[in-house]
Amino acid sequence: MKNILYFQKKFLLPHIGMFVLVLFTGMVAASASGMGIPMMVKYVFPVVFHAPGDPVPELLEGMPALQTLNPDTLLLLACISMPAVFIVRGIAMWLNAVLVNILGIRILESIRMAVFCRVQELPIAFMESRRKGDIISRILADTNNVQTILTSVANDLVKQPVTAACALGAFIYLLVTSGQGLLFFVNMVFIGLAAWPIMVFGKRISGKALRSQQGLGELNTAVQQNLENQREVRAYAMEEREINEFKKTSAQFCTNYVKLVKYQKALVPVMEVVTALALAFLLVRGRMYGMNFTDFIAIAGALFFAFDSMKRAGTAWNRFNEAQGSIKRLTEVLYEPNGIPEPETPRKFEQPVRGEIRFREVSFGYDPEKPVLRDVNLTIPPGQIVGLVGPSGAGKTTFAALIPRFYEVTKGSVEVDGIDIRDLRTHDLREQLSLVGQQALLFSGTIRENIALGRQDATEEQIMAAADAAAVSKFLDSQPKGIDTKLGQGGSGLSGGQRQRVAIARAFVKDAPILILDEATASLDAESEREIQEELDKLAQGRTTLIVAHRFSTIRNAHRILVFDGGRIVGDGTHDELYATCALYKELYDRQGIQ
C-alpha cells in the first residue's frame, strides 16, 4: 500500500483536477444506472401502462395538475423521461471513458519518463546485474499496468461501489415501500457471499501476477539476446537450441499466466451464481406474498445492478492486485540508491583542465568482500599516454572505469587535477573524458548526429574536422547521403572499422583532455586495426590517455605501461624496462609473437 500511495502522490496528484472530473462523471453514470433505472421502473412504468379505471399511479399522487392531463399527454411525458435517464447516463459514460483515456496516457508518459530517467541515473553495477529485456519490460509493460490501476481501476473502484450503493439504496427503499423488509436481511447474506471471493482471490492474484510479469521480462530478454546475436546463432548452428530455450521460457510464462487467469476469471461465475440465487429467492418470496409485477421488476433490477456493480468492482480489485507485481518491479528501479552520490557543494575544475590523474590507496570490489583492485597508488601526469596490460580479470578495465566514476571506490580516492572526483558533479567530471570502447556503439540517426553526440553544440566545421581526423571522410562518398546517411540500430549499414571511425570522430569533436581507449581495436582484423590505430595515435596526442590493451601493438607509442595482476600493479615502466625486469610482461608480450 505504501508503494501505491507513492505512485498516487507522484503521478496522479499532478493531474488531480482531471481525476476529479473522471470520478464525477463516473458517479453520475453510476447514479443513473444504480438508482435512476430501478426508480424509473417503479414509478414511470405504471404511468405508461395505466388503464382507465386503474388506481392513480404512485408517481401522480400529490400532483393533481398532472392527473388532469390527457392520458396521451401523460404517456408522452413518461416516454420522454425514460430516454432522459439513458441520455444522462450515456453522456456521463462517454465523458468518463474519454477522460480516463486522456488521463491514462498522460500518467503513462509520466511514469515511463520517470523510470527511463531513473535508469540513466542508476549505477553501472545495477545495469550490469539486470538483463536488458527485463528492464525493457519494466519500462514498457509494467508502467502500462501501473497506469491502468491509477486511472481505469481507480475509476472503477470508485464508480462501481457508488453504483452498488445507489442500487442498494434503491433496493432498500423499494423493499420498505412495498412491505418486503425481510428481503433486505436475507439479501445481506447473499451480498456477504459475493464479497468473500473478492477478498480471497485478490490475495492470490498478487503473487501470481508478479511471477507472470517476471516471466514476461524473461521472454523479452530471450528475444533481445537472440536478435542481437543472430550472427553467432547462425554461425554455430544454434537455431534449434535457441528455439528450444525460447519454447521452454514461453511455456513457463504461459503456465504462470494460466494460473493467474484461473483466479482472475473465477470471480465472475461465483458472482453470477450468487446473483441468480438472490433473484430466485426474490422470485419465490414475491410469488408467495403477492408482490405486484412492477415492484418485482424494480426490486429485481436494483438487486441486479447492485450485484453486477459488485462483480465489476471485484474485477477491478483483481486488476489492482494483479498490478501489485508491476509496482514492486518498478519500485525496485525508482527506489534503487544512486550508488554514485552527488556532492552537496561540488567543486569546479580550474580551466583549462590539465588531465592529471592520481590514485591514492585505491581498493575496489564489485563485491566488497572480494576486491578487484588493491591499494593502488599512482600518478599519471597531464598528456601522458599509458598502456594497461595484464591477464584477463587482472583489474585493468576496472582501473580505467573508476576514472569516469562508473563505480565508487571502496577505499582511497581518485583525483583529477588534484580534486577528489567525489567532490565533482559527475556530469562535470565526464565532460572532461572521452571513451572509445571495443564495440563502437552507434545510435539510430545520421552519421553527422552520431559524431555530434560527443559535443551537442558542435559547429559544422568542428564536425567535419573530426570526420577528417578520424578518416570518416574516406567512406562518406560510398554512403547514399554522405555524412547525412541514416544508420540503423547499432550503426547497421557500416562495417566494424567504419563504426569505430565514427566513434573516434565523436571523441575528436568532444576534444576532452582525458581519453580512455578500452581495447578499441580488439574486434577488428589486422588491416583495419592498423588503419584505426593511426587515427587513435592522432587522437591521443596532447591528451592524458589510458589504453586498455589486448594487443600489445596498440601501445607501441605509450610513454608508460602498467602491468596488472591479481588486482595490483606489478610492473610500471617503458616497454624496454618491463621486458627486462617484469616476468609477467615478458611472458604476455612473447606470447603474441610481436616482432
Mean pLDDT of 405-409: 89
CATH of the domain at 447: 3.40.50.300
pLDDT, one tens digit per residue, over 244-260 is 888 888 888 888 888 87
The three-class DSSP label of residue 386 is: strand
Q: Is 339 exposed, middle or buried (0-12, 13-18, 19+ CB in 10 A)?
A: middle
Across all residues in the chain, what is the average pLDDT?
A: 79
pLDDT at 204: 73
382 vs 543: CA distance, rounded Å: 7
User: What is the sign of the dihedral through the CA atoms of 209, 210, 215 and 221?
Assistant: positive
The three-class DSSP label of residue 69 is: coil
* Position 490, amino acid: G
538 vs 469: CA distance, rounded Å: 8
Question: Which H/E stretch holds residue 421?
Answer: none
Phi-psi region of 395 (alpha: psi -120 to 50; beta: other; left: phi over 0): left
pLDDT at 413: 94
pLDDT at 453: 82
pLDDT at 2: 62
In this predicted model, which residue has the larger pLDDT, 508 or 78?
Answer: 508
Question: Which H/E stretch holds residue 156?
Answer: helix 154-177
Rank 22-26, 366-370, 376-380 by mean pLDDT and report only the highest. Answer: 376-380
Q: Which three cell numbers stand for residue 50?
A: 395505466
| Of residues 377, 389, 332, the one with CA closest to residue 517 | 389
514 vs 302: CA distance, rounded Å: 76
| Of residues 74, 76, 148, 79, the one with CA closest to residue 107 | 148
**Bridge-based pairing state of the strands 411-416 and 373-380:** unpaired
pLDDT, one tens digit per residue, over 315-344 is 777 777 777 777 778 887 887 777 678 888
| Of residues 583, 584, 568, the one with CA closest to residue 399 | 568
pLDDT, one tens digit per residue, over 285-297 is 766 666 666 677 7
CB atoms within 10 A of CB 535: 21
Question: Which H/E stretch holds residue 347?
Answer: none
Mean pLDDT of 442-448: 84
> Is residue 516 included in any domain, yes or no?
no
**Same domain, residue pair 205 and 73:** yes
115 vs 134: CA distance, rounded Å: 13
pLDDT at 1: 55
CATH of the domain at 319: 1.20.1560.10
Chain-centre distance for alpha carbon 247? 25
The three-class DSSP label of residue 67 is: helix
> Is residue 448 included in any domain, yes or no?
yes
> Is residue 577 included in any domain, yes or no?
no
pLDDT at 381: 94
What's the pLDDT band for 367 if we cut at 50, 70, 90? confident
* Position 535, amino acid: E
Give me Rg for the CA atoms of the chain.
36
Mean pLDDT of 373-397: 91
The three-class DSSP label of residue 39 is: helix
For residue 319, give Cα distances in angstroms to 125, 151, 303, 315, 433. 34, 12, 24, 6, 48
pLDDT at 513: 92
pLDDT at 422: 93
- Specify the range with the lowest mean pLDDT, choosing from 181-190, 461-470, 535-544: 181-190
**Same domain, residue pair 329 and 445:** no
Per DSSP (E only), the strands in 452-528 are 486-487, 514-518
Per DSSP (E only), the strands in 381-455 are 385-389, 411-416, 419-420, 433-436, 445-446
pLDDT at 536: 78
Please report, rounded to a whole number, the percentage of residues in the chain having pLDDT higher than 90: 14
> Is residue 557 included in any domain, yes or no?
no
Question: What are the residues facing 486 on neighbouring strands?
Answer: 446
Mean pLDDT of 115-139: 77
Mean pLDDT of 87-96: 85
Are 538 and 366 in contact, with CB atoms under 8 Å apart?
A: no
Q: Which of 470, 490, 511 is the last residue of a domain?
A: 511
pLDDT higher than threshold 70 for residue 47: no
Mean pLDDT of 91-99: 86
Peptide bond into 346 cis (omega under 30): no
Question: What are the residues facing 571 on neighbouring strands?
Answer: 563
Mean pLDDT of 14-21: 85
Residue with C-alpha cell 576532452? 512
pLDDT at 111: 82
Q: Which three cell numbers stand for residue 290?
A: 403477492
Per DSSP (E only), the strands in 118-235 are none
262 vs 60: CA distance, rounded Å: 51
pLDDT at 546: 92
Q: Which of 334, 355, 381 is the last residue of a domain?
A: 334
Rank 57-61, 120-124, 196-200 by mean pLDDT and report only the highest. Answer: 120-124
* Position 96, amino acid: N
CB atoms within 10 A of CB 80: 9
363 vs 348: CA distance, rounded Å: 25
Question: What are the residues facing 378 on neighbouring strands?
Answer: 359
CA atoms within 13 A on the CB side of 133: 16
What's the pLDDT band for 231 if we cut at 50, 70, 90? low
For residue 133, give Cα distances in angstroms to 8, 28, 141, 250, 294. 27, 43, 11, 14, 60
CB atoms within 10 A of CB 595: 2
What's the pLDDT band for 56 if we cut at 50, 70, 90? very low
512 vs 515: CA distance, rounded Å: 7
**Same domain, residue pair 280 and 139:** yes
pLDDT at 50: 54
pLDDT higher than threshold 80 for residue 591: yes
Peptide bond into 352 cis (omega under 30): yes
pLDDT at 564: 93
- Specify the range with the lowest mean pLDDT, choosing from 206-210, 345-349, 441-445, 454-458: 206-210
Per the document, the length of the chain is: 595
Please give the tally of structural domains in the chain.
Answer: 2
pLDDT higher than threshold 80 for residue 55: no
Q: Which of 334, 367, 388 is the last residue of a domain?
A: 334
What is the domain extent for residue 472? 441-511
Chain-centre distance for alpha carbon 520? 32
**Same domain, residue pair 17 and 136:** yes
Read off the pTM: 0.66
pLDDT at 329: 80
In this predicted model, which residue has the larger pLDDT, 423 or 104?
Answer: 423
Buried b (16+ CB within 10 A) or exposed e, 379-390: ebeebbbbbbbb
Rank 239-243, 333-337, 363-367, 521-525 by mean pLDDT and report only the highest. Answer: 363-367
pLDDT at 327: 78
Residue with C-alpha cell 420522454? 80
pLDDT higher than threshold 70 for residue 435: yes
pLDDT at 212: 80
> Is residue 570 included in any domain, yes or no?
no
Q: Which three cell numbers stand for residue 382?
A: 597531464
> Is residue 322 included in any domain, yes or no?
yes
325 vs 208: CA distance, rounded Å: 8
> Is residue 407 included in any domain, yes or no?
no
Are 170 and 36 in contact, with CB atoms under 8 Å apart?
A: no
> Is residue 27 included in any domain, yes or no?
yes
174 vs 264: CA distance, rounded Å: 34
pLDDT higher than threshold 90 for residue 414: yes
pLDDT higher than threshold 80 for residue 365: yes
